[in-house]
Amino acid sequence: MIQAKCQIVEKKQVAEKIFVMVFEHAVIASKSKPGQFVHINLGPGSVLRRPFSVYDTYRDTFSILFQVVGSGTNRLATYRPAQSLDVIGPLGHGYPLEGEKPVLVGGGMGLASLKLLHKRFIDSKKDDVRVILGFSSNVCAVEWPEADVCTEDGSLGKKGIVTGLLNEELKSGADAVYACGPEAMLKKVGDATKGKKIPTYLCLERYMACGVGACLSCVCETKTGLKRVCREGPVFKSDDIIFNETGEKKNSAKKKKET
Amino acid sequence: MIQAKCQIVEKKQVAEKIFVMVFEHAVIASKSKPGQFVHINLGPGSVLRRPFSVYDTYRDTFSILFQVVGSGTNRLATYRPAQSLDVIGPLGHGYPLEGEKPVLVGGGMGLASLKLLHKRFIDSKKDDVRVILGFSSNVCAVEWPEADVCTEDGSLGKKGIVTGLLNEELKSGADAVYACGPEAMLKKVGDATKGKKIPTYLCLERYMACGVGACLSCVCETKTGLKRVCREGPVFKSDDIIFNETGEKKNSAKKKKET
Amino acid sequence: MDISIDLAGIKLNNPVIAAAGTFGNSDEYGQLVNISLLGAVTTKGLSIEPWKGNPYPRMVETVGGLINSVGLQNKGVKDFIADDLPLLRALDAKVIVNIVGKTIEEYAQVASVLDNEVGVDAVEVNISCPNIKKGGSSFGTDPKIAAQVVAAVKKKTKKVVIAKLTPNVTDVSEVAKQVELAGADAISLINTVKAMSVDADTRQSKLATLYGGLSGPAVKPIALRMVHEVSQTVKVPIIGMGGISNTKDALEFIIAGAQAVAVGTATFNNPQTMINIINDIKDYLKDNDLTLKKLSGSLKSN
Amino acid sequence: MDISIDLAGIKLNNPVIAAAGTFGNSDEYGQLVNISLLGAVTTKGLSIEPWKGNPYPRMVETVGGLINSVGLQNKGVKDFIADDLPLLRALDAKVIVNIVGKTIEEYAQVASVLDNEVGVDAVEVNISCPNIKKGGSSFGTDPKIAAQVVAAVKKKTKKVVIAKLTPNVTDVSEVAKQVELAGADAISLINTVKAMSVDADTRQSKLATLYGGLSGPAVKPIALRMVHEVSQTVKVPIIGMGGISNTKDALEFIIAGAQAVAVGTATFNNPQTMINIINDIKDYLKDNDLTLKKLSGSLKSN
Ligand SMILES: Cc1cc2nc3c(=O)[nH]c(=O)nc-3n(C[C@H](O)[C@H](O)[C@H](O)COP(=O)(O)OP(=O)(O)OC[C@H]3O[C@@H](n4cnc5c(N)ncnc54)[C@H](O)[C@@H]3O)c2cc1C
Ligand SMILES: Cc1cc2nc3c(=O)[nH]c(=O)nc-3n(C[C@H](O)[C@H](O)[C@H](O)COP(=O)(O)OP(=O)(O)OC[C@H]3O[C@@H](n4cnc5c(N)ncnc54)[C@H](O)[C@@H]3O)c2cc1C
Ligand SMILES: Cc1cc2nc3c(=O)[nH]c(=O)nc-3n(C[C@H](O)[C@H](O)[C@H](O)COP(=O)(O)O)c2cc1C
Ligand SMILES: Cc1cc2nc3c(=O)[nH]c(=O)nc-3n(C[C@H](O)[C@H](O)[C@H](O)COP(=O)(O)O)c2cc1C
Ligand code: FES
Ligand code: FES
């Protein structure tokens, strides 16, 4: 992990509100492993950095794929090539490469953390790797030729959610699962392999402040206690995560109402 | 006074840290009188607008001349042509046109409020108008061909301060004085014409919040009570202003120390 | 869509109010804002005799906020009635007059003079003034004294009495409880937070005074918490304020327990803020199939 | 240039300290910051037994600040001594251990356990914890109880005792006076300001808890005012904090009366903040021909 001013060398819009931004930094590029992330300072006026998965690396550059969802990502989208941003990275623990027939499951922008993983599998001659991507609709879909795509509204690829496609892959012999996306989806992915002895790695996205394990804001409940998503994660073994805690908030709200 | 999104149509750097920015807005351009100002919103993240004299108007455009002195002006300097800013203007009461041989005295960026005045004098065939500009040094000097320039360090024009040149003009028959610049300079200009029956108008610059007379932050002590610089000013008759109040802060600090 | 509210018996066309001291006394913003569209305007703190306020500089910008030390400069209640009230009467918006004093009697006197005036819909008792009898600490920091001020004002007027609370206290709901008991018809909060800014070059306060009052987006999370606390304590309606700059902010205050909201500092940045909020609240209510009444205090527990 | 300071008997190489809860417990920032260059590091609130803290989400960004509700999650004093203290001992920076408890006895117990530990230079008593015996209001909002906590800790340790004050009080200097009388060797302030943020879509708090604590640039003007107030009241050294993000901010606190400064939230934005301040303070002192001693509390009246 290092902190460095990184120049933006390219920025392209790949879909509505979705951008790829390429930064130049040899050390961050060479050290980044699939599933790791960078923590980006958005410049004067912002209090917290914003975390983004390392989407890809190429020679001295690394890139992120991001969607404009709020003020921070909106701000990020205003930066242009030749400008520089202060980046900390790579951070966290990425995905271990396991299995002969791995399946990569991305929901929405979660796909950003899987691109480099896919590349590494291909590099290590695991050609039998499958990619399943799910989007809410066509609007936010990002192209990935090898991927099986499904959308909730059927506007692109199959109509449905990723676990449908995942179950088919599991039937036809998939032996490792990697997923990143909304927590509701991750939970379903975890359920799909539960008890099946298929190593399943889930990448969590939680609000972060420090990104290095110092502030305890990004915690997640696991079977071995509270873990910091930024430091011990963002990738966890599916079996370890206790998902209830996340839903706890809404559940207890409901409960109180009922009593 | 109106509030409107105004597009930047031109921006040029005229000296180190000094810019001219031209905005397009027919109403503000046509209504602006010499000595009036515009109040500019610097965009998301800033709390207060910043006031700038209307430097010039031309057809459907008006311009400001500004120096980067802090965070706000620094921000302003990052905007580029084709972008738009929210402007309120024209605000305040400008200079009345009086005298056959008027003298315009500008200190630093104070010159910005005099350019349009000069133009109006020429328009109304008062060709015998003199312009005296003083700068701390060559670095922040702005070109104005008709002007007599002096600098404190002698790096441009005469070495000295504006009141030297002003006194010469007064001797040779100047019959009205208009000044804008640091308050210490304005006080000296006022002293130079005191008791001389030469109408003298001073343009004050005070920290402003609302710009329209609502918040009472920009007050100035006058012989007829506290006045709002943004509403009753920024131009006041020299005789009316009670300058002590401004210096009061530092004076009383000293006094307390002595006791 | 109807977004009118009943604020302790006064009918406001909508729940958006201009905060005291930030919108002038009459038509200062009249050329930029159609004032009649607002729910109400609150005028600048008014005392029995004219007050001069503090020396210049009176204002400094900070990150997300501003500190002011205007010091309640005003022309006194008589000139206000003569100069400004006629203009205010002509507005569709309701008129709340913010009143101040250096003794409890002075508050009562201002209220008494205003009691006969048509066009004044409510008086807002600004208990953040320095209490000269108590060595200058503000009336509003002591629940008992705060209640005494409100009771004294209540005695002198038939108008709606709003108590405006200061945030510079350990327990704002205790103050709220006491002013409610003393007869306040409504409560508004927060006033500015005591604050300071230093110029490292001159090594002096950036204001002519040592301390000033912080307002603007920076204080919003504090104001919102206090509005929620107070809403759990009192039954009278609450006007929430402190850093409200857009519709989301206004909604947060209403959800947390306010019946109405006031906008101050944000008007300096964009005079259209209140008008935008009025329009956008309607859209929000439509989209969420809610009424203002249902929305107010509808915060769900976690 | 020498910018070392004597903080109640501890020699700090410079007056810049990492604030509790924002810099981890040992080497979390070690790969990005040369921790040995700091004046001191303060570790995360430590209790006698492990605390679980609050549920996620624990953090929300606001304009110029952030609200956290981490809730003092920590592994307890025993594991801290075993896991983290060895790393801390190896640093050049001094080590301040922030301690917490739900009863006065718990505070005293943590202090007692730490008293024997080499490498702990001071304990900072975080009296912003909820006092479970008093219905959850924080120890630090009542001057008497605050003093009792400090006195109890003082009894159990020979280490330097720093009392960390909460800003959520009417009169912070009264609390400061009482903890000084109770034996505090130094005072640090401010802790976070009680605050709230609501999601207008879900109509719930944005945190898993109802309220959290606001920190960052937004609170700086409030913190600075409180540091100045306290500096006018007590003789013990003051560690000023709250929103410090750059050298100018740090200088403001020192001029207002602090002997040292701590940086919290700004480190999240830029881990180099403290290092930059250390370097730039030297330049400022040189340029202005000043020493830290002369600078501290040198605010000129207006
Ligand atoms: C380890 C990690 C890797 C990530 N990688 C990517 C990536 O490659 N591409 C990408 O587009 N996004 C990624 N995210 C999410 C991204 O950080 C958030 O979208 C971003 O911080 C939102 O900032 P904002 O200010 O625009 O939104 P805000 O205004 O803060 O929030 C807008 C909305 O976004 C949601 N949101 C905000 N922060 C997060 C978060 N941390 N996780 C999930 N939802 C959030 C909130 O629910 C909110 O409704 C990642 C997050 C983490 C923790
Ligand atoms: C009616 C009026 C007309 C003005 N016209 C011009 C103009 O034509 N061109 C121009 O360059 N500037 C003009 N100014 C000054 C300009 O508004 C300030 O320079 C600007 O607001 C500074 O903003 P900042 O955020 O960059 O500086 P800040 O960070 O706020 O302050 C930086 C420094 O600038 C000084 N400063 C800040 N505001 C003012 C102010 N209102 N008056 C005087 N000094 C100030 C402060 O002393 C401070 O040291 C005018 C001011 C007024 C009131
Ligand atoms: C310049 C200024 C003047 C103010 N004057 C008064 C006043 O006279 N009486 C009063 O009760 N509050 C006064 N206030 C406080 C505001 O009415 C409001 O309570 C506070 O600013 C918080 O709201 P905001 O953040 O939207 O500005 C003043 C605030 C400012 C900024
Ligand atoms: C995430 C977070 C955790 C904190 N944890 C503690 C703590 O454990 N003990 C404590 O005394 N203060 C704690 N604080 C308060 C800080 O030490 C500091 O007093 C406050 O944040 C103000 O400084 P800042 O604005 O520079 O962050 C915490 C603050 C934050 C933001
Ligand atoms: S973001 Fe600070 S511990 Fe994870
Ligand atoms: S700036 Fe508000 S009255 Fe002049």
Q: Is some CB atom of chain D closer than 8 A to the CB atom of C217?
A: yes
The answer to whether the Cβ–Cβ distance between D198 and C256 falls below 8 Å is yes
Between chains, do D300 and B253 touch, taking CB under 8 Å as contact? yes
Residue B145 pLDDT exceeds 50: yes
Q: Please check the confidence at residue D136 and state whether its pLDDT lies above 80.
A: no
Predicted pLDDT at A133:
92
CB contact under 8 A, D302 and B253: yes
Closest atom, ligand 1, to C-alpha of A51 = 17
Query: Is some CB atom of chain B closer than 8 A to the CB atom of C60?
Result: yes
B247 versus D28: which is more confidently predicted? Answer: D28
Cβ pairs bridging C and D (under 8 Å) = 139
Supply the ipTM of this predicted assembly.
0.95
Atom 5 of ligand 1: nearest residue by CA position: A52
Q: Who has greater pLDDT, B146 or A90?
A: A90
* Residue D52 in contact with partner chain A when CB distance is under 8 A: yes
Atom 4 in ligand 3: residue holding the nearest Cα: C21
Ligand nearest to the CA of D74: 4
Chain D within 8 Å of B252 (Cβ-Cβ)?
yes
Cross-chain residue pair C195–D228, CB shorter than 8 Å: no
pLDDT of residue A126: 86
In a domain, D66, yes or no: no
Q: In angstroms, what separates the C-alpha of B79 from chain A's closest C-alpha?
A: 12
Instruction: Report pLDDT for A127.
Output: 84
Sorting pLDDT into bands at 50, 70 and 90, what band is A155? confident
Beta strands in chain C (DSSP E): 5-7, 10-12, 16-18, 40-46, 59-62, 65-68, 94-99, 122-126, 160-164, 186-189, 193-195, 198-199, 204-205, 212-215, 238-241, 260-263
pLDDT at residue A161, rounded to an integer: 87
pLDDT band at D131 (very low <50, low <70, confident <90, very high): confident
- Give the long-range contacts of residues A142-146, CB within 8 A, separation 24 or more: A142/A14, A142/A15, A142/A18, A142/A65, A142/A111, A143/A14, A144/A111, A144/A115, A146/A118
pLDDT-derived band at B142, boundaries 50, 70, 90: confident
First to last CA, chain B: 49
Instruction: Specify the CATH class of B2-91 in words.
Output: mainly beta
C-alpha span between A118 and A132 (Å, rounded)? 11
A248 pLDDT above the threshold of 90: no
| Average of per-residue pLDDT values in chain A | 90
Q: Which B-chain residues 57-116 have CB contacts (< 8 A) with chain A? A: 71
Ligand 5, residue A219: give the atom nearest the CA: 4
**Would you say residue C192 has pLDDT above 50?**
yes
- Closest residue in D to A89 (Cα) is D32
Residue nearest to atom 29 of ligand 3 (CA): C21
Q: Which position has the higher pLDDT, A110 or A141? A: A110
Mean local confidence (pLDDT), D7-13: 97
Which chain A residues contact residue B44 at CB under 8 A? 45, 71
- Domains: count for chain D: 1
Q: Specify the 3-state DSSP secondary structure of D232.
A: coil
pLDDT confidence of residue A136: 85
Ligand 4 within 6 A of D242 CB?
A: yes
Query: What pLDDT, on a 0 to 100 scale, did the predictor assign at position B248?
Result: 44
Q: Is the CB of B49 under 6 A from ligand 2?
A: no
pLDDT of C1 strictly over 60? yes
Give exposure, C193-213, as e/b (b: 16+ Cβ within 10 Å): bbbbbbbbeebbbbbbbbbbb
Q: What is the pLDDT of residue A147?
A: 87
Confidence band, pLDDT 50/70/90 cuts, at residue B253: very low
* C129 is known as an active-site residue: yes
Instruction: Examine the pLDDT at A257 and tell me if it is beyond 60.
Output: no
Average pLDDT, integer, range B175-198: 93
Could you tell me if B171 and B101 are in contact, meaning their C-beta atoms sit under 8 angstroms apart? no
Q: Quote the pLDDT of residue A251.
A: 38
Quick check: is D224 in a domain? yes
Q: CA-CA distances (angstroms) from residue D240 to D226, D244, D248?
A: 9, 9, 13
Q: Which domain holds residue C111?
A: 5-53+71-192+215-295
pLDDT (0 to 100) of residue A253: 38
Ligand 6 lined by B88 (C-beta under 6 Å): no
Average pLDDT of span D141-147: 96
> Does D188 map to a domain?
yes
pLDDT, average across residues D107-118: 97
User: Does residue D198 belong to any structural domain of this protein?
Assistant: no
Question: Is D56 exposed, middle or buried (CB count within 10 Å of its CB: 0-12, 13-18, 19+)?
Answer: buried
* Section C177-189 average pLDDT: 98
Best mutation site among D63, D255, D302 for testing chain B: the one with the most B CBs within 10 Å? D302
Q: What is the mean pLDDT of residues A122-151?
A: 85
Residues of chain A found within 8 Å of residue D268, distances taken between Cβ atoms: 47-49, 209-211, 215
Q: Is A218 in the pocket of ligand 5 (CB under 6 A)?
A: yes
Check whether D7 has a pLDDT greater than 70: yes
Which pLDDT value is given to residue B234?
97
- Please tell me which residue of chain B has the smallest CA distance to D299: B253
Contacts of B70 (CB under 8 A, 6+ apart): none
Q: What's the rounded Cα separation, in Å, for the pair D236 and D240?
A: 13
Atom of ligand 6 nearest to the CA of B219: 4
pLDDT in tens, A156-188: 888 888 988 898 888 999 999 999 999 999 999
CATH of residue C21: 3.20.20.70
Region B91-101: what's the mean pLDDT?
Answer: 95
Q: Which atom of ligand 2 is nearest to the CA of B18?
A: 11
Contact D251, D220 (CB under 8 A): no
* Range of lowest pLDDT (A53-67, A157-171, B174-188, D7-21): A157-171
- CB distance C138 to ligand 3 below 6 Å: no
The stretch D247-266 carries a mean pLDDT of: 98
* Calpha distance B155→B135 (Å, rounded): 10
Task: Tell the residue nearest (CA) to atom 41 of ligand 2.
Answer: B207
**In chain D, which residues have their Cβ closer than 8 Å to the Cβ of A244?**
none
Selection from D116, D71, D91 nearest residue D25 by Cα: D91
d(CA B38, CA A130): 61
pLDDT at B45: 84
In the CATH hierarchy, which top-level class contains the domain B102-240? alpha beta
CA distance D140 to D161: 15
Beta strand extents in chain D (DSSP E only) = 5-7, 10-12, 16-18, 40-46, 59-62, 65-68, 94-99, 122-126, 160-164, 186-189, 193-195, 198-199, 204-205, 212-215, 238-241, 260-263
Q: Is residue D206 part of a domain?
A: no
Residue D52 has pLDDT above 90, yes or no: yes
Say whether pLDDT at C113 is over 70.
yes
| CA-based torsion, A202, A208, A211, A215: positive or negative | negative
Q: Chain B: give the shortest CA distance to residue D214, in Å.
A: 18
Q: State whether residue B257 sits within 8 Å of chain D by CB.
A: yes
Minimal Cα distance from B3: which residue of C?
Answer: C32
Say whether residue D21 is in contact with chain C using an 8 A CB cutoff: no
- Can you read off the two tokens belonging to residue B3? 């509030």
Task: List the one residue out of C272, C271, C290 whose CA is nearest residue C281.
Answer: C290
Compute the average pLDDT of residues D223-228. Answer: 98
Mean pLDDT of C181-202: 97
Q: Residue A254's pLDDT band (boundaries 50, 70, 90)?
A: very low
Residue A111 confidence class, pLDDT cut points 50, 70, 90 = very high
pLDDT at C234: 98
Instruction: Say yes or no: A256 contacts chain C, CB-CB below 8 A.
Output: yes
How much is the pLDDT for B250?
Answer: 43
Give the mean pLDDT of A110-132: 93
Average per-residue pLDDT for chain C = 96
Give the whole-angstrom CA distance, residue B36 versus residue B204.
11
Contact C65 D67 (CB under 8 A): no
Give the contacts of D268 (CB within 8 A, at least 6 positions apart): A47, A48, A49, A209, A210, A211, A215, D22, D66
Q: Which chain A residues contact residue D62 at CB under 8 A? A: 47
User: Ligand 4 within 6 A of D193 CB?
Assistant: no
